[in-house]
Amino acid sequence: IININKQQISNKLGLTLDDYIVFLKHPLSSSKDESFAQMEIAIKATISFLENNGLNGIGIYPNTDPGSYDILRAIDQNKSEQLKFFKTLPREIFVNLMRNSKALIGNSSMGLLEAPFYKLPVVNVGDRQKGRLNAGNVDFVGYDEDEIINALNKAVFNEEYRSEIRAQENPFG
């Protein structure tokens, strides 16, 4: 994979990316009926965090599991200049987007498997991934706006916490 810096990513995506987070949330089939409401809480909390801190976010569309249409509807109904969503991204952009991000929020397995490689703090919202082995870089939170915002503040701005994550061993190699 070619190493692409933030400026090159910004140019390719047509955005200004200084400090940013990545948002990647999938539906949980066991609670697909709550997908819209859950996604709306996660998006609103993230947008509030971004706006209050002058940051940007890059969102990636969910997988196609049951409940994904409701997640897409929540994305469409909660548009923001601070949080831009993309259907797909080329691999070299996605990998470098993660490499240069301040944090990952959502519930993707990427937070457990790949994020530790990049020493990336993760805010995992909801029960998807809960109970799985992780490197200690994951903060599991519920669907509460204040809890999500507090976890994002810790992940992005708490230097002691970020140092702990940089020192952690990745159990997945």
pTM: 0.93
pLDDT tens column, 103-122: 999 999 898 889 999 999 99
CB 161 within 8 A of CB 126: no
| pLDDT value of position 1 | 62
- Rounded mean pLDDT for each run of 10 residues along the chain, 173 residues in total: 82 85 91 92 98 96 92 96 93 91 94 92 91 87 98 98 93 75
DSSP string, 94-157: HHHHHHH-S-EEE--THHHHTGGGGT--EEEESSTTTTS---S-EEEE-S-HHHHHHHHHHHHH
CA 92, 95, 101: angle at the middle one, nearest 5? Answer: 130
| pLDDT value of position 75 | 97
| pLDDT value of position 134 | 85
Q: Residue 38: exposed, middle, or buried by beta-carbon count in 10 A (0-12, 13-18, 19+)?
A: buried
| pLDDT value of position 105 | 98
| pLDDT value of position 7 | 85
